Amino acid sequence: MTGRRRASLMVTCLGDLFFPEVGVSIVRLLRTLDVPVDVPPGQTCCGLPLFNSGYHTEAAAVARRTVSLFADSEHVVVPSGSCAWMIKHEYPGLLSGKGLAREAGELAARTHEFSQFLVKVLGVTELGSTVAGRVTYHDSCHLLRGLHESQSPRTLLGGLRGVELVDLPGADECCGFGGSFAVRLPEVSSQILAKKLANVEGTGASCLVACDAGCLMQMRGGLTRRKSRVRALHLAELLDGDRR
């Protein structure tokens, strides 16, 4: 690690509204690592829901806001692979015709999904927390296939004391969330989810970890509905473990 890093948290809409504890854990973890964190005010959403449904003019307007909100940030840390992917892969294209190509490109380079920031930017693999129990990890689609990341979250989980990390069969298969897909075709979405959760329960894990608020919403929603003893947590929550 060279020099001190500063991070701005982009908490994302789902993180802000539904999973504030994830943001809190991230702030706490980064502080422990001696990384000053700020949260630029007035955050809403990265615009991915608009983009994926084909509302690109609207998505570009939202993207333009993000670019200016984080213009002065050294690193932007995002708790969801899909939102990080949106900024890194779609912002430059969306904003290229709007005279913001350079700014969007710079933001893309400075933006990191949470686990990648820890492992690849900070060079951290162990957080020193203790979490007892069997844990399994679900690869979120955008993090895995969009950002080509499967190792960083597993490295961090493996670095926890007391954790037994077990492979999830079909870990790389979609959980069935897919944004508006989950409510446009709820029956299909639910059947994909049911198969995912059967695999999760088959591992005997007591905790399912993911790095995307969308997948967490879907999988946690399915687990609590079936009164499963498995808890679905964001990676940051588990890493924050005994500090919580």
Partner 1 sequence: MSDDVLAVPFRQRAGSAMKDAFLQEALTIATTKFIGLRREAFEDFPEGETLRNRARAIKEATLQRLDHHLETLIGNVERLGGHVHYAATSEEARSIIVDIARRTGARMAVKSKSMATEEIHLNEALERAGITPVETDLGEYIIQLAHERPSHIIAPAIHKTKAQVAALFGRELKRPVEADPEVLTRIARGELREKFLQADLGITGANFAVADTGTVVLVTNEGNGRMVTSLPRVHVAVMGVEKVVPSLTDLMVFLAILAKSATGQKLSVYTSLVGGPRRPGELEGPEEFHLVLLDGGRIAQLGGPLREALSCLRCGACLNVCPVYRQIGGHAYGHTYPGPIGILLTAMLEGAPAVKDLAHASTLCGACAEACPVRIDIPRMLIELRREVDDTKIAPWAERVAFKLLARLLRHPGLYRLAARAGRVLQRPFATEGTVSRLPFFFDEWTRTRDLPAVAARTFQERWASEKDLRP
Q: Which of 76, 189, 212, 238 binds partner 1 (CB under 8 A)?
A: 189
Task: Please report whether residue 231 would count as binding partner 1 according to CB under 8 A.
Answer: no
Collapse the DSSP code of 129 into the 3-class scheme (helix H, G, I; strand E, B; otherwise coil) and give the result.
coil
* Site of tokens 């904003």: 95
Side chain identity, residue 145: R
Which structure tokens are listed for 105?
Answer: 């490109």
Task: Please report whether residue 179 would count as binding partner 1 according to CB under 8 A.
Answer: yes
Q: Which is nearer to partner 1, 24 or 101 (CB)?
A: 24
x/- track of binding to partner 1 for residues 6-25 (CB under 8 A): -----x-x-xxxxxx-xxx-
Whether the CB-CB separation of 236 and 79 falls below 8 Å is answered with yes
**Separation between Cα atoms, residue 69 and residue 10, nearest integer Å:** 10
Q: Which of 4, 97, 99, 187 binds partner 1 (CB under 8 A)?
A: 187
Q: Tell how far CA 119 is from the center of its chain.
A: 14
Site residues (CB under 8 A) for partner 1, limited to 32-61:
36-39, 41-45, 47, 49-56, 58-59, 61
Site residues (CB under 8 A) for partner 1, limited to 193-222:
193, 217-218, 220-222
Q: What angle do CA 165, 167, 172 make, to 5 degrees?
A: 125
Q: Which of 165, 185, 199, 201 binds partner 1 (CB under 8 A)?
A: 185
Rg (CA), the chain: 17
Q: Which is nearer to partner 1, 159 or 189 (CB)?
A: 189
**Separation between Cα atoms, residue 216 and residue 49, nearest integer Å:** 16
Q: Which positions lie near partner 1, rule CB under 8 A?
A: 11, 13, 15-20, 22-24, 27, 36-39, 41-45, 47, 49-56, 58-59, 61-62, 65, 141-142, 145-146, 172-174, 176-193, 217-218, 220-222, 224-225
